Amino acid sequence: MATPYDVIIIGTGAGGGTLARHLAPSGKRILLLERGDWLPRELENWDGEAVFVQNRYISPDTWYDKEAKAFQPQVHYCVGGATKLYGAALYRQRKEDFGELRHHDGISPAWPISYDEMEPYYTKAEQMYQVHGARGEDTTEPPYSAPYPFPALSHEPRIQQLSDDLEKAGYHPFHSPNGIMLNEQNRPFSTCIRCATCDGFPCLVHAKSDAEVMGVRPALEYSNVTLLTNAKVIKLNTNASGTSVTEVVVEHPNGLANGSDQVGRNYMFHNSVAVLAVSKEPNPTQFQKTLGLNDFYFGMEGFEYPMGNIQMVGKSQASMYKGEKPIETKLAPMFALRDIAHHAVDFWLSTEDLPDPNNRVTVDKEGKVTLIYTPNNQVAQQKLYDKLKSMLNHLGMHPDHLIHRTAYMKSFIPVAGVAHQAGTCRFGKDPKTSALDVNCKAHELDNLYVVDTSFYPSISAMNPALTAIANALRVGDHLLERLK
C-alpha cells in the first residue's frame, strides 16, 4: 500500500485503540488497520449460552500446542480487540513489579523503566478509561499522584458480607478498580445498568470502558483518522537494509526486528484459575467483580515468594455449567445444579508466570501458529489456591468446595485461555536481549513501534490492560515529539 499516512496503527485493542485516540488531535494522518470487524450490537452480546458455550465472538483460528495438537485460542478479532470482552478490572502493576522479584521458580526480571516513570501515564490511563476505585484500601497499592476519577463501585450485599468476613478474619479486602460507566448517584442517567453479563461479555449498551468506546470511536471524530476493518496485516516491507518499514506487506528472512532472537519468545499469560465456592447463603449478586485481595501478593508466613492476586470474576450462570451429576456432586452434594448458580461465589486467582525463552509462538511459512508453553511457578499458584480454600469456613462458604473452572464450565481448555497473553516482543535497553528499545521502537528499525502487551518483559500478577493503556500513552507522547 502506498502510504499517504504519517502513522499506521495495526490493531485497535488496548494498545492500538488508545494510541490512536492519543495521536488523533495532532492532525497527523493516521490509518488504523484492524483484522476484525465492528463487534455486532445484538441481543446475543448478553446471552451466556451464545457467548460462553457457542463462543460466538471468539475467532475460529486454529493454533497448535507443543504436541502439535490443534486448539481454538480464545482470541477476539474486532474493533477494540480483547477489551470488548474483558472484565475491565483496571489495575496498576505494583511498584515492586517494575524491579527484579525473586519467585519460587526463579526471577521475574526488572522492566527497563521504573514505576515512577510510568505513574503519570497510569493516572492518565485511569482518567481516559474512567476508572472507579478507592485509594488507600489495598495494602500493596503503589504511590499515586491523583485520586481515581470516579468513586468505587459499591459491593452488592453478598460481596459486602464477604468483605466484612475477610476483614473480621484480619485480611485487607479492597474495592477493585473497574472501568464501567456506572453512576450510582444518578441511576436514571447512568450509561451502565449494572448487569450480570459483563466480565467475558461485550457490553450491549457501550457502557464498558473498552478500547472501541474510549479509543477508536473518539479518534474517528477527527478527520485525519481513518479506520479500515477486515484489514489483516500479514507482512511488513522494509527498505533494502531492513531498518525502516516502507510498506505494510512484505516478508523478511529471519523475521522482522529479530536480531535478538527474542521475537516470539517469553510468552506469558498468567497462572490463572477461576474457581467457584458455594455460599451457605444465596448469592444473588449481579455485578460481582467489585472486590480484590492482595494480602498474599508478595507471599505469606511460611512461603516467602510472591503468590499473586485474588479477585472476583463475573458471576457464573447455570447455562455455563456442565449439567452432569458428578459435577453437581463435586460442587455441593446437597444442592441441585440449578441451585448452585444461585449460591456460587466465583473467584479469579492470578499468579505470575515467569518469562522463559522456550515458551514461544512460532509461525511457519504456511502461517500455522504454534504455541509452545510449559507452565512454571505452579507451586506459588497452588499455595494461593490452598490458602483461599482454607479460608472458606470463615467466609460463609461450604468448606472444601473450591472447584476449578475446568470442572464446572462447559467449554474450557486451559492452554486456550490466552486472555492475558503478553511477552514475545520484550522491551529493554540491550538489543541483544530485547526486540524493542525503551520507547517500544524496534531496536533495528527506525519506524516500527509495538504497544500491545507483547512489550512486557515480565507480567506481574495484576491484570494487564491498564499497563498496556498507560504504555500506549507513554509511547504516544514520544511519537508526538518525534512527529513535530
Ligand X SMILES: Cc1cc2nc3c(=O)[nH]c(=O)nc-3n(C[C@H](O)[C@H](O)[C@H](O)COP(=O)(O)OP(=O)(O)OC[C@H]3O[C@@H](n4cnc5c(N)ncnc54)[C@H](O)[C@@H]3O)c2cc1C
Which of 28, 172, 194, 322 touches ligand SF4 by CB under 6 A? 194
Residues that contact ligand SF4, how many (by CB under 6 A): 12
Smallest separation (angstroms) from ligand SF4 to the CB of 45: 8
Q: How far is CA 33 from CA 2, 76, 237, in A?
A: 14, 15, 16
Binding of ligand X by 342 (CB under 6 A): no
Binding range to ligand SF4, per CB under 6 A, among 154-162, 195-203, 424-432, 450-458: 195-203
Query: What phi and psi, each to the nearest 5 degrees, are found at residue 113?
Result: -125, 155
Closest to ligand X by CB, 10 vs 182, is: 10
Decide if residue 14 touches ligand X (CB under 6 A).
Answer: yes
The span of 79-87, 235-243, 276-284, 301-309 binding ligand X (CB under 6 A) equals 79-87
Instruction: Spell out the residues 6+ positions from residue 468 whose beta carbon is closer than 8 angstroms to its own.
Output: 13, 14, 15, 18, 451, 452, 453
Site for ligand SF4 in 254-313 (CB under 6 A): 287
Residue 176 interacting with ligand X (CB under 6 A): no
Q: Is 306 in the site for ligand X (CB under 6 A)?
A: no
Residue whose entry in the numeric block shows the C-alpha cell 467489585: 290
Q: Which residues within the stretch 207-246 sit at the binding site for ligand X (CB under 6 A)?
A: 232-233
What is d(CA 119, CA 471) in angstroms, rounded to the nearest whole number?
A: 10
Give the residue with the Cβ less far from ligand SF4, 35 or 175.
Answer: 175
Least separation in angstroms between residue 270's CB and ligand SF4 is 22
Q: Is 36 near ligand X (CB under 6 A)?
A: yes
**Binding partner of residue 195 among ligand X, ligand SF4, none, CB under 5 to 8 Å per kind?**
ligand SF4
Residue 232 binds which one of ligand X, ligand SF4, none, with CB within 5 to 8 A depending on kind? ligand X
Nearer to ligand X, 87 or 173 (CB): 87
274 binds ligand X (CB under 6 A): no
Q: Which one of residues 175, 208, 265, 270 is an interface residue with ligand SF4 (CB under 6 A)?
A: 208
User: C-beta of 154: minimal distance to ligand SF4 in Å?
Assistant: 13
CB 179 within 8 A of CB 84: no
Q: Single out the residue of 19, 20, 23, 89 in contact with ligand X (rule: CB under 6 A).
A: 89
The reply on whether position 82 binds ligand X by CB under 6 A is: yes
- Asked if residue 268 lies in contact with residue 359, where contact means CB atoms within 8 angstroms, the answer is yes
C-alpha cell at 162: 464477604
- Name residue 311's beta-bridge partners: 292, 348
Q: What are the helix (H) ranges across 59-209? A: 115-128, 157-168
What is the chain's alpha carbon radius of gyration, rounded to the nearest angstrom?
22
Please, what's the b/e burial string for 50-73 (b: 16 or more CB within 10 A of its CB; e: otherwise)?
Answer: bbbeeeebbeeeebbeeeeeebeb
Tell me whether strands 225-228 and 30-33 are parallel, antiparallel or unpaired. Answer: parallel
Q: Please spell the DSSP secondary structure of 37-65, one letter per residue.
A: BPPP-SGGGG-HIIIIIS-TTS----EE-
Query: From CA 295, how far away is CA 172, in angstroms rounded?
Result: 6
Of 173 and 215, the one with the shorter C-beta distance to ligand X is 215
Looking at the Cβ atoms of 41 and 102, the one nearer to ligand SF4 is 41
Stretch binding ligand SF4 (CB under 6 A), from 163-171, 201-209, 428-436, 470-478 = 201-209
Residue 10 lies near ligand X (rule: CB under 6 A):
yes
DSSP code string of 159-186: HHHHHHHHHHTT--EEEPPB-B---TT-
DSSP state of 83: G
Query: Given the C-alpha cell 495484576, which residue does it identify?
Result: 462
Using CB under 6 A as the binding rule, whether residue 44 contacts ligand SF4 is answered as no
For residue 70, what are the β-bridge partners? 64
181: nearest Cα among 323, 287, 61: 287
Which 180-209 residues touch ligand X, going by CB under 6 A?
200
Q: Where are the alpha helices (DSSP H) in 309-454?
A: 325-331, 337-343, 378-391, 405-408
In the list 73, 81, 173, 423, the residue contacting ligand X (rule: CB under 6 A) is 81
Among 205, 318, 407, 415, binds ligand SF4 (CB under 6 A): 205
| Residue 51 touches ligand SF4, criterion: CB under 6 A | no
Q: CB neighbours (10 Å) of residue 300?
A: 14
Rule CB under 6 A: say whether 337 interacts with ligand X.
no
- In sequence order, which residues have a C-beta less than 8 Å from that of residue 47 and are 6 or more positions away? 197
Considering only the stretches 10-18, 148-156, 184-192, 377-385, report the one whose residues sit in contact with ligand X under the rule CB under 6 A: 10-18
Among 208, 265, 420, 474, binds ligand X (CB under 6 A): 420
Question: Which of residues 75 and 300 has its CB atom nearest to ligand X in the complex?
Answer: 75
Nearest residue to 393 via CA among 471, 299, 293, 278: 278
Using CA atoms, how far apart are residues 127 and 46, in angstroms rounded to an integer?
Answer: 27
- Partner that binds at residue 85, options ligand X, ligand SF4, none, CB closer than 5 to 8 Å by kind: ligand X
Residues that bind ligand SF4 (CB under 6 A): 180, 192-195, 197-198, 203, 205, 207-208, 287
Residues that bind ligand X (CB under 6 A): 10-16, 33-36, 77, 81-83, 85-90, 200, 232-233, 419-420, 452-453, 463-466, 468
